[in-house]
Structure 1
Amino acid sequence: MTTAQTLTVHTTTDSQDKAAAPARGAVQTRLAARAQIAGPLTSIEPTESTELPDPADPAER
């Protein structure tokens, strides 16, 4: 039987913009399946396209 392994990482920054870069990088390189940024809540997930939405861009929130 194979045991699934998961890891949850929590970090803090002083702004959403500073949180967006490492969150996007982790998802784009598949180190993370999803990233969430609080204040207001923004989820970053892989998509069918090669580009992920930019949570720092108000038009994409």
Structure 2
Amino acid sequence: MLQRLTKNLTATDIFLWIIRIVIIGLIVWGSITTLASGKYSGENWLDFIVFGLAQGSVYALIA
């Protein structure tokens, strides 16, 4: 199974996986840094979630 996977793996696939890992790493690092700084209260985070869901719902209705 591993041979079949490496046989179909191209340089583009490897590049895209590296980009995915870097982006996910940056998102996780940024989230941890923001949460650890204590800049926003629990109430702020609740507002962010509610506003994000509302905005996402509007985008879903438009699309």
- Structures share a fold, TM > 0.5? no
| Normalised-by-shorter TM-score class | under 0.3
Higher helix share: 2
Larger Rg: 2
TM-score normalized with structure 2 length: 0.26
TM (normalized to structure 1)? 0.27
